[in-house]
Structure 1
Amino acid sequence: MTSVEEVLSSNLYTQQVKKLYKIGDILGLHEDELQALSTPERVLQVKIQILSKDGKIRTFTGWRSQHNSALGPYKGGVRYHPNVTQDEVIALSMIMTWKNSLLQLPYGGGKAGIRVDPKTLSKQELEMLSRNFIDALYKYIGSEIDVPAPDVNTDSQIMAWFLDEYNKISGKIDLGAFTGKPVELGGIAVREYSTGLGLTHTAKIAAEKFLGGIEGKTVIIQGFGNLGSYAAKFFTELGAKVVGISDSKGGVLDYNGIDVDKALEIKAKTGSVIDYPDGKKVSNDELLISDCDILVPAALENVITKYNAPKIKAKLIVEGANGPLTADADEILKEKQIPVVPDILANSGGVVGSYVEWANNKMGEIIEDEEARKLILSRMERAFDEMYKKYNKLGDQDLRTSAMVVAVERVIKAMKSRGLI
């Protein structure tokens, strides 16, 4: 039987509040200020119904959490996953608040999720689900209010359906209401790979600080979706050696180096990297504790906990997923002197890419791809520098704490200026 302690330890919202209270101690925040920071401004729960291909009505539950708007409109992705919960969505919206603040983007934090396995839906059912979700939320969305984007199991096609439905039902032509759109609808080509690009660029800077450089370093990537696959490509271009990859079905470990193009081809053909012909087949759990220089957990939250953190052999962790480490794991890895580049910086290339797309929509489509790429990288470099300066100033804290101190302090100042606390 699962204990209350185990349930709480696996709850992403509980973990994020725990991390926030640690920052509160450092900044000397009062309980009422911490309550204001940890409580979302609005959480919307909606019922979404579709007519399935067998003629039956199917009902799904979805949520949008609008966590904090002190710095600007809510901003964050929409995920489709069978295990999505309200607490998870709230926690992810809180992470987005800190992420946008750290990167000095003019946004607050938001997140959405629908509890659904999209693999069980036909394309027509998926479109109906997506459009009906926007029908339920359109009053609370817009380029100046709340700007959704892709996340787990959502993509540019789903954003296109979102935008079209929003324009129809609201009577507005507002391209900036969603980001991660197809290029033909105001998207930018860089947004497709901006999360992977930003992560590897940040990993390169961190490797220079902690490992003496990125070239020749071994990399394991847990999760081989959009982020993981692009990250693998960019790591290879930087001269690192990708030796481990995985997806939901399992992984492969090959210290001779994994051919990323071959792995992508096999995943597209068979549905999983587990069918990669070379190397050793491993579980996701085994992959996380395998030897490497750089570990990138790029799947889901809470995969590194107090139970497996002591077994981690990586010399540097760069968080691709949101919240892949629990608070207990943070403390263990700090004791082991393994630096962790936190999610709010490492995977923020996606939201910086979204910001560039949103700004381009607002200005009338004037940004070229190369300029967009430079903007993403320069914004992430600046955020890393801020985090690293705070890290050196604090002395006895880890990189996540340093990044969150910068981010939370900025939100607190904005809330105080507005008279919200």
Structure 2
Amino acid sequence: MSTQPARPASFDKLGGLSYLNPAAPEPWSSFVEQIERVRPYLGSLERWIETLKHPKRTLIVDVPIERDDGTVAHYEGYRVQHSLSRGPGKGGVRFHPDVTLNEVMALAGWMTIKNAAVGLPFGGAKGGIRVDPASVSKGELQRITRRYTSEIGVIIGPNKDIPAPDVGTNAMTMAVMMDTYSMNRGGTATGVVTGKPIALGGSLGRQEATGRGVFITAREAGRSIGLPIEGARVVVQGFGNVGGIAARLFHEAGARVIAVADHTATLVNEGGIDVPAALAHTAANGGLAGFAGAAAIDIEDFWQLGCEFLVPAALEGQITPQRAERIRARVVVEGANGPTTPAADDVLRARNVLVVPDVIANAGGVTVSYFEWVQDFSSFFWSEEEINERLERIMINAFNAISHVATEKQVPLRTAAFIIACSRVLEARAERGLYP
């Protein structure tokens, strides 16, 4: 009898329950509460609001593979299309041992809001497999990816739903997904996924896009309250493709990154961490643990460090009301999806902490994914300089629009972003009508 491989005993200690927050509310509940908070601002579109609380399509798939030792293992996979009113679904695929349908639903919902808030012609989608990539071999991981792609192949496609990398996946995962989809369709379809290797139709600038977007919105938020980046103290949770890139850009702009955390260690150096050295150490050792340029502290002490910018760039549910009471940052810039619970949002607002919400702060990745999708359709590719210029322009314009609504209606930036996004999605839903 075969079962899914057991999670490594070290996981909870290094990357699971102690690092995250087991008491956090279910992500979907947080998303629904965020939707409810914009109800008073929707006018005649309010009659469609229930649309946003019901994902359009939810697919649960069994992902069986033959392991290297000849046994058969089963993994559970998901693909949720939250809304397709404004265009094809768009959202990443997460490989993580704690992936749940509830989480994937919420992430798909946030993608709907994010794409609409930035003005991209996409709906929202998300996928995931409950698997620890470190617990399987490279060959097993490829077989998992191919079987999952085949199972969800009925609902994805360049004009239907376009996956991308997320936690536990990368450009090579997307290469395997693209190849599997193409083989099943009998022709190469580069536009079925984004975040691919450059050789397979990927876009220059994509790898750094999310972290770059976090930095751009942090800079613009700072300008809006007279807080310059140069000389500012920065604390970053998550030191991977988002947090690590953002930390490097802060460092290059003259900020002082005083603390960083990942699933292996939480480190502080009030004099400033050598970010390039920390990134090199992480690349060589798989994590921050053992980095000599900073001292280890407890994760709970991390949240009360005095700083100007706090960047949670790990997973959802990190900033609870209890942690929000201890935060000593002036600006929280959400590099992760859903890191702040609605109740914690209220605490931070009462304490006059400016929160730049995930749906704008980390939208750089999906924005450059949009560029990649467009380039694949046209088979004409832009330079990295062009990519970064277009990204900066879109991010600044989106932030300014959200900031304007926040000021006009005297609401937090998150509510302002949801007002803009929900209005756009529901207007499209109303214009399309119901079929049949």
Q: State the TM bucket, normalised to the shorter chain.
A: over 0.9
User: Structure 2 CA distance, aligned partners of 1:420 and 1:256?
Assistant: 59
- Alignment match, 2:180: 165
What's the CA shift for 1:9? 5.2
Amino acid in structure 2 at the alignment position of 1:58: A
1:89 to 90, 99, 104: 104
Q: Does 1:309 align with 2:324?
A: yes
Find 2:300's aligned residue among 275, 285, 303.
285
Matched, 1:192 2:200: no
Name the SS for the 2:242 alignment partner: helix
- 4+ residue segments displaced more than 3 Å: 6-9, 28-32
Amino acid at match of 1:405: I
**Structure 1 contact 207–213 (Cα < 8 Å) conserved:** yes
Greater displacement, 340-349 / 6-15: 6-15
2: CA distance, partners of 1:322 / 1:398? 17
Tell me the number of residue pairs that the alignment of Structure 1 and Structure 2 aligns.
415
Offset from partner CA, 1:119-164 (integer Å, 9 cap, x none): 0111101100001101101121111000000000100000000000
User: 1:12-411 to 2 correspondence within 5 Å?
Assistant: 12-28=27-43, 33-395=48-410, 397-411=411-425
Displacement of 1:323: 0.1
Q: Is the 8 A contact 1:65 1:90 kept in 2?
A: yes
Q: Which amino acid aligns with 1:115?
A: R
Give me the whole-angstrom Cα distance separating, in 2, the residues matched to 1:322 and 1:7: 17
TM superposition score normalised by structure 1: 0.96
The letter for the 1-side match of 2:80 is S
> Whole-Å Cα distance in 2 between the matches of residues 348 and 72 of structure 1?
17
Deviation per CA, 1:275-324: give whole Å up to 9, x if none. Answer: 12133212333212211110000000011011211111011000000000
Whole-Å separation in 2 of the counterparts to 1:15 and 1:172:
41
Task: Classify the secondary structure of the residue corresponding to 2:148.
Answer: helix
Task: Read off the aligned partner of 1:331 and give its amino acid letter.
Answer: D
Q: Secondary structure at the residue paired with 2:289?
A: helix
Moved more, 49-58 or 284-293: 284-293
Choose 40-49 or 257-266, whichever is displaced more: 257-266
Q: Please say if residues 246 and 274 of structure 1, whose CA atoms lie closer than 8 Å, have aligned partners that are also in contact.
A: no
Instruction: Give unpaired runs (5+ residues) of structure 1.
Output: 1-5
Q: Taking structure 2 as the reference length, what is the TM-score of the superposition?
A: 0.92
What are the superposed Cα offsets for residues 252-291 of structure 1, whole Å, 9 maximum, x if unpaired?
0101111112112222233221312133212333212211
Give the secondary-structure state (helix, strand or coil) at the position aligned to 2:126: strand
What SS class does the counterpart of residue 184 from structure 1 fall into?
A: helix
RCO comparison, higher one (Cα < 8 Å, 6+): 2
Cα 1:77/1:43, change in 2 over 3 Å: same
Structure 1 stretch 29-38 or stretch 8-17: which is displaced more?
29-38
Letter in structure 1 aligned against 2:126: K
Is the 8 Å Cα contact of residues 222 and 288 (structure 1) preserved in structure 2? no
Between 1:168-177 and 1:332-341, the stretch displaced more is: 168-177
Query: How far has the Cα of 1:372 moved from its partner?
Result: 1.2
Deviation by residue 1:15-64 (Cα, 9 ceiling, x = unmatched): 11011001113324787522211110000000001111121101000000
Structure 1 pair 32–45 and aligned structure 2 pair: CA distance change class (3 A): farther
- What is the rounded CA distance, in whole Å, between the counterparts of 1:339 and 1:420 in structure 2? 39
User: For each residue in 1:369-396, what CA deviation from the matched residue of structure 2 results, as whole angstroms up to 9, or x when unmatched?
Assistant: 211111111111110011011011012x
Contact 1:222/1:284 (8 A) holds in 2: no
Deviations 1:334-362 (A, max 9, x none): 10010000000000000001000000011
Q: How big is the shift at 1:7? A: 8.5
3-state SS in 1 of match to 2:86:
coil
Unaligned 5+ runs, structure 2: 1-20
Q: Distance in 2 between matches of 1:285 and 1:323?
A: 19
Task: Give RMSD over aligned pairs.
Answer: 1.6
Residue 308 of structure 1 aligns to a residue in which SS? helix
Aligned residue in 1 for 2:427? 413
Contact persistence 1:186–1:365 (CA under 8 A): no
Q: How far is 1:165 from its partner?
A: 0.5
* Superposed displacement of residue 188, structure 1: 1.3
Going from structure 1 to structure 2, the CA distance change for 1:394 and 1:296 (only over 3 Å counts) comes to same
Given residue 359 of structure 1, which amino acid in structure 2 is its aligned partner? Answer: V
